[in-house]
Amino acid sequence: MPVIPNIFTTGNLFFGLLSIMTSIEVLHASAAGTATSEWLFSRLWWAAAFLVIAAFFDVLDGKLARFIKHESKFGLSYDSLSDLVSFGVAPGILIYVWVLMGAGKLGLMALLFYIVCTALRLARFNVQSGNVERFKFTGLPSPWAAGLMVSPVMLLSAFQIAPDHRVMWYYLAAAPFIGLLMVSNVPYWKRPALNTAGPFNALVVAAILFAAVITNPEIVFISVAYLYAAIGMGVYVFRQLRQWSKTSDEARSSDETRSEEGG
């Protein structure tokens, strides 16, 4: 039984490596000039889709380990190493091959920064998993960060749209920003708090989600990934502003009280 969660972790690693190999295959075919545009779009789509599948395995291994009560330090370390490959190195290589190779050293620097931040995020999670991050994440989780990186690849490849300079400049800014979001203190929830009002309504919601994923996976993945990241940042900024406003009001009240006492 303890081996089963690690099998799912191996699946995560497998699909991350498969994405890297597919990106290398695209690079080789593009350099040789032997591939059609349809083939390239298809392979790029799959290079991104493999990382979505890897994220699915990443979710399953943790849930299964908790369900059978066989969480271990080995499993935690193996999971983090696999996540670094699947959600750090693999997205970096894919985006570099897809659009940022033309940006030269600037593109390389942006992606190296993203990968290093992924490693730091996972190392911090290993240290804090038993206390601080037991019920919520501190910083954007690496699978969601990878989703922000690769979901545009899926969307544009599905519509057979080649990236232009606007996409390049977007990733030059987005890759470091996503990296910083991973190592930030912005809290993100682990489980969505959805009130479906009963099992029947839950089945209806599940049916809608399955239908959407099957028919329009690219739109669903990019919407969910960016919505998750945006909601977390929005809630954090709102709480910080409210805390700042409360602190300012308390300081103002304290100053007024001192003025009255002095008068």
Q: DSSP for 225-236? A: HHHHHHHHHHHH
CA gap 82, 58 in Å, rounded: 9
Q: Output the pLDDT for position 192.
A: 59
Which of 44-58, 136-150, 202-216 shows the lowest mean pLDDT across its residues? 202-216
Q: How far is CA 135 from CA 130, 131, 195, in A?
A: 9, 8, 19
| pLDDT surpasses 60 at 195 | no
| pLDDT surpasses 60 at 57 | yes
Which of 103-107, 231-235, 252-256 shows the lowest mean pLDDT across its residues? 252-256
Q: How far is CA 16 from CA 87, 91, 143, in A?
A: 7, 9, 11
CA gap 241, 135 in Å, rounded: 24
| pLDDT surpasses 80 at 263 | no
Q: For residues 151 and 48, is the Cβ–Cβ distance under 8 A? A: yes
| pLDDT surpasses 70 at 58 | yes
| pLDDT surpasses 90 at 48 | yes
Residue 43, burial from CB neighbour count under 10 angstroms (0-12, 13-18, 19+): middle
CA gap 140, 112 in Å, rounded: 18
Rg (CA), the chain: 22
pTM for the full predicted model: 0.89
Most confident of 25-34, 66-75, 114-123, 240-249: 114-123
| pLDDT surpasses 80 at 196 | no
Using CA of residue 212, residue 216, residue 217, residue 221, what is the dihedral sign? Answer: negative
Nearest alpha-carbon partner for 87 in 165, 24, 179, 176: 179
Q: Output the pLDDT for position 97.
A: 96
Q: How far is CA 80 from CA 11, 61, 85, 175, 197, in A?
A: 13, 12, 9, 20, 36
Give me the number of domains the chain comprises. Answer: 1
Please provide the average confidence, as pLDDT, over all residues in the chain: 89
CA gap 13, 7 in Å, rounded: 10
| pLDDT surpasses 80 at 199 | no
Q: Output the pLDDT for position 221.
A: 93
Section 138-166 average pLDDT: 95
CA gap 189, 134 in Å, rounded: 10
Q: Output the pLDDT for position 202.
A: 73
